[in-house]
A = this chain, B = another copy of it.
Amino acid sequence: MQVQVHPMWESYPKIKADLLSVLQMVESHVRIHDKNIESTIRDLIYSGGKLLRPAYTLLCSQIGSASSQEKERSIAVAAALETLHMATLVHDDVIDEADTRHSNPTIHTQKGNQFAIYSGDYLFCVCFTILSKHASSLAHLEFNARSMEKILTGELDQLNSRYRTVASVKDYLSRISGKTAQLFAVSCYSGAITSDASRRQAVTAWNMGHYIGMAFQIMDDVLDFKGDSQTLGKPSMADIRQGIYTLPLLYAMKAKPNVLHPLLAKKEALTENDLMQIMEIVEETRGVEKAQQVAEKYTNKALKALAKLPDGEYKRTLYEITTNLLHRTV
């Protein structure tokens, strides 16, 4: 497999080079006696994800004025966070029974659920190995471990609220805050602190990351209602069958509970026809537009936070990738 980073970084050669170092650092920590297993995990590392979280870490590591010696540390922190992200993706794919990710067959499809579960666990450990080797302090590490706990409790929360038709918009926002926004916030914050940014700047980076993560997840959920399995690379509407009701649907449920609740009560038994009907109701009640407006609000909050950070090339890059990301159509 040829080593490469996602084409979205073509226009940013410095970030692209650093992201390659990030992937190489992850790879250098994957050392498994059985070379067959090692190569499966190596393929995962280079499987072409967007590397958004490590990119935010790297960009935010230019907020402060730390010396270039800190460069390696920011690459390490970015590598640890990407490893964590990979670990959760591998487990998510088992849970969602997803067959492909970035057009490649998922690990559990290739090697079975058991292999995927332990591979994810292994990657969790690699994440902590990298962090403990490079973190600036035990306190920083504890902070990271606690953040990761929040990500997992977000996932658990989501599972536990499946098929809950009384779920409110507030519940949804709290869920995605743990599940997605937390890791974006940690990525930005960790970058800032490796650069010796001030406390206030680090908090601004945290907030920016949180808002980006919120907008990102809402857009992801919105696109599920717009795209088909080809443009999105994962089966749309899968969430609904699994009882995960996202923002566009929640708005529709608010508007037409009497039509939607009996349909949703079918749970896994929802037919293609039912799903088409649900999509029509979401369209009719303008669920997608309303959700998009919420995403827009978070995007604006993110850009407002970004505006407070010190000027520099990194800031322009952050602005570009953030606006592109949150206005994407796929």
Which A residues lie at the B interface, using CB under 8 A?
Answer: 32-34, 36-37, 87-88, 91, 94-95, 112-115, 117-122, 124-126, 128-129, 131-133, 135, 137-139, 141-142, 144-146, 148-149, 152-153, 155-157, 159-160, 174
Known: A135-B138, A138-B132, A159-B114. A153 touches B33 (CB 8 A): yes
- Say which residue of B37, B124, B141 sits within 8 Å of A157 (CB atoms): B37
Known: A128-B128, A153-B33. A118 touches B146 (CB 8 A): no
Q: Which 8 A-B pairs have the closest CB atoms?
A: A122-B152, A129-B145, A132-B141, A132-B142, A128-B145, A125-B148, A125-B149, A95-B114
Rounded to whole angstroms, the CA-CA distance of A2 and B120 in the bound complex is 34
Rounded to whole angstroms, the CA-CA distance of A37 and B37 in the bound complex is 33
Contacting pair A156 B95 (CB below 8 A): no
Q: Which residues of B contact A155 (CB under 8 A)?
A: 118, 121
Rounded to whole angstroms, the CA-CA distance of A309 and B125 in the bound complex is 31
Q: Which residues of B contact A133 (CB under 8 A)?
A: 138, 142
Contacting pair A121 B32 (CB below 8 A): no
The main secondary structure of chain A at its interface with chain B is helix
Q: List 5 A-B contacts (CB under 8 A).
A: A34-B157, A115-B159, A115-B160, A117-B120, A128-B145
Contacting pair A124 B124 (CB below 8 A): yes
Contacting pair B120 A121 (CB below 8 A): yes
Name the CB-closest residue of B to A91.
Answer: B117
Looking at the assembled complex, report how far the CB atom of A212 sits from the nearest CB atom of chain B, in whole angstroms: 22
Contacting pair A121 B122 (CB below 8 A): no
- Say which residue of B126, B149, B153 sits within 8 Å of A149 (CB atoms): B126
Rounded to whole angstroms, the CA-CA distance of A192 and B131 in the bound complex is 24
Looking at the assembled complex, report how far the CB atom of A93 sits from the nearest CB atom of chain B, in whole angstroms: 11
Rounded to whole angstroms, the CA-CA distance of A120 and B122 in the bound complex is 12
Contacting pair B153 A129 (CB below 8 A): no
Contacting pair B33 A157 (CB below 8 A): yes
Rounded to whole angstroms, the CA-CA distance of A88 and B91 in the bound complex is 14
- Say which residue of B32, B125, B137, B160 sits within 8 Å of A34 (CB atoms): B160
Contacting pair A146 B129 (CB below 8 A): yes
- Say which residue of B137, B144, B156 sits within 8 Å of A122 (CB atoms): B156
Contacting pair B37 A156 (CB below 8 A): yes
- 11 more A-B residue pairs beyond the given contacts A117-B117, A120-B121, A125-B148, with a C-beta to C-beta distance below 8 A: A33-B153, A34-B160, A37-B160, A95-B114, A114-B159, A121-B152, A126-B149, A128-B145, A133-B138, A137-B138, A138-B141
